[in-house]
Amino acid sequence: MNVNTWLEPIVFFLFAGVVLFSAIGIVLTRNIVRAALFLLGTLGGVAGLYFLLMANLLAAIQLIVYAGGTLVLIVFGVMLTSKSPWVRFAPSRSEAAAATTIGLVLFAALAKIVTGIDWTVAAHPADQPATVRQVGNLLLQQYLVPFEVASVLLLVVMIGAAYLARPEN
C-alpha cells in the first residue's frame, strides 16, 4: 500500500467537490458573468479528474480548447450582449420548484442504475498515463475519417459564424 493509494481518494474528492460546487454555483447564481466563471471552475475540476484518470493529453487539450477557447468565447458573448452587468433573469418560483424535482428524480434513477449493475472492471486499472504517441497513432489510424470530417466541419463553422455575426452595414 504505497503512498498514493491513500492520496488518490483525497485528490479525487477534492476535484469532485470543486466540480460539483461550481456546477451548483452555475445553477444558483443569477449574474451571468459569475455563471461563466463557475464554468471555469467546472472545466478546471474536470481537467484535474482527467489527470487522475491517466488521460494527461486530454486534460491538456481540455484546458487549452475548452477553458482557454470556448470559455473566452462565452465570456465575450456575455459581454457583448448584456447591456448592463446586472441583468437579472430570475425564473419564477413554480418553474424552479418543478425543475429541481425533475432533476432529483432523474439523478435518483441514474444513481440506482449505476450502482445496480456490476461493471466488469478490468483486473487492474491502467496506471500509466496514455502517451501522446499512442493517442496520435490511434487518432491517425483508426480514427482518420472522423479526424478529416471534423476539420471540414470546423471550416464550415468558422465561415458560418463569421457570416452570421457580421454587422449588416
Partner 1 sequence: MSQATIPWIEPVPEKRVAMRRKALLVLFGGGLTALIVGCVMLGVFRALPDQVGTIVFILAGVLPILGGLGLIPLGLLNGSVVLTTLGFAQIGIGALVGGLLKATPIDPLVVGVLLLVIGPIAAGLAMLTAAGVIVAFKQVVQLLLMRWTALILFCGGIVSIILLVWAHAFVFRYVAQLANDTTLNTSATTTFGGDLTIAELSTRFSGNWRPVAFVLWPLQFGLIRDLIAMGGVIGFISIIPLYTIWWERKVAGRIQSRLGPMRVGGWHGWAQSFADGMKLICKEDFVPPEGDGTLFRLAPYLAFVPAICAFIALPFATTYVFRDLDVALLFILAMLGIEVLGVIIAGWASNNKWSVYGAMREACQMVSYEIPMGMALLVPVMTAGALRLTDIAKLQQDGFGSWLAWNNPFCLIAFFCYYTASLASCKRAPFDLPESESELVAGFHTEYSGFRWSLFFFAEYAAMFAVSGLAVILFLGAWYGPLPLSWAPAGNDIASAVVRGLLFDGPILFILKCGLLLYVQIWIRWTLPRIRIDQVLYACIQVLLPLTMLVVLGSTFWLLFDNSAHPAFESFAKVVRGLLSLVGVVISIAIAGFIIFGFVNRRRLVGTLAIEHFPGS
Partner 2 sequence: MADTVLESRPDLNLDVVRDEIGDVRTEEMLVNMGPQHPSTHGVLRIVLRTDGEMVLEAVPHIGYLHRCAEKIGENVAPYQYIPYTDRMDYLAGMNNNLAFSLAIEALTGLEVPKRAQVIRVIFAEMNRIASHLVSMGAYGLDMGAFTPFLYAFRERERILDLFEASCGARLTYSYITIGGVTDDVPERFIDVCREYLDYFEPKIAEYNNLLSFNHIFVKRTANVGIISAEKAINWGLSGPSLRGSGVKWDLRKVHPDCGYDEYDFDIPVGQGLKGQLGDCWDRYFVRIQEMQQSVRIVRQALDKLAGTPGEYKHKSGKSVKLPKDEIYYEIEGARGQLGFFIQGDGSQIPYRVKARGPSYCNLSITNEVVKDCLLADVPAIIGSIDVVMGEVDR
Partner 3 sequence: MTSIGLQHYLLLAAALFCLGILTMTLKRNAIGILIGVELILNAANLNLVAFTRYRTGAIDGQIVAVFIILLAAAEAAIAIAIFMNFYNSLATIDVDRADQLQG
80-99 residues near partner 2, rule: CB under 8 A: 83-84, 87-88
Task: Choose, by CB under 8 A, the member of 2, 89, 133, 145 that binds partner 3.
Answer: 89
97 binds partner 3 (CB under 8 A): no
166 binds partner 2 (CB under 8 A): no
Nearer residue to partner 2 within complex by CB, 87 or 138: 87
47 exposed, middle or buried (CB, 10 Å; 0-12, 13-18, 19+)?
A: buried
Could you tell me the smallest distance in angstroms from the CB atom of residue 145 to partner 1?
A: 21
How is residue 87 annotated by DSSP?
-
Could you tell me the smallest distance in angstroms from the CB atom of residue 117 to partner 1?
A: 33
Q: Look up cell 484535474; give the residue.
A: 48
CA 37 to mean position of chain CA atoms: 13
135 binds partner 3 (CB under 8 A): yes
121 sits in the region (left: phi over 0; alpha: psi -120 to 50; else beta) called beta
Residues that bind partner 2 (CB under 8 A): 83-84, 87-88, 167
